[in-house]
Amino acid sequence: MSDGLILFIISMAYVVTLAYFQNKKWEKRRKDIIMGINAIIWTMIMIAALKL
C-alpha cells in the first residue's frame, strides 16, 4: 500500500468519526477525541513527508 492510500483511508475514517461524534453530541469528550485524531493524522503526514 502506498502512503497516499493510507492517508486517504485515515482521512476518510477521520471524517466518519467526526460525523459520528457530532451526531452523538458528546461535547466534552468529542474535543479530546478530535484532538487525538488530529495528532494521529499529523503524525502520519509527517512520516509520509519524511519518506519523500
CA 7 from centroid of its chain's CA atoms: 9
User: 21-33: buried (b, 16+ CB within 10 Å) or exposed (e) per residue?
Assistant: beeeeeeeebeee
C-alpha cell at 30: 468529542
- Residue 19 is predicted with a pLDDT of 74
Residue with cell 519523500: 52
> Using one digit for the tens of pLDDT, what is the confidence trace for 2-43?
777 888 888 888 888 777 776 666 666 767 777 788 888 888
C-alpha cell at 25: 453530541
- Residue 23 is predicted with a pLDDT of 65
C-alpha cell at 8: 486517504
Question: What is the reported pTM?
Answer: 0.42
Residue 41 in 3-state DSSP?
helix
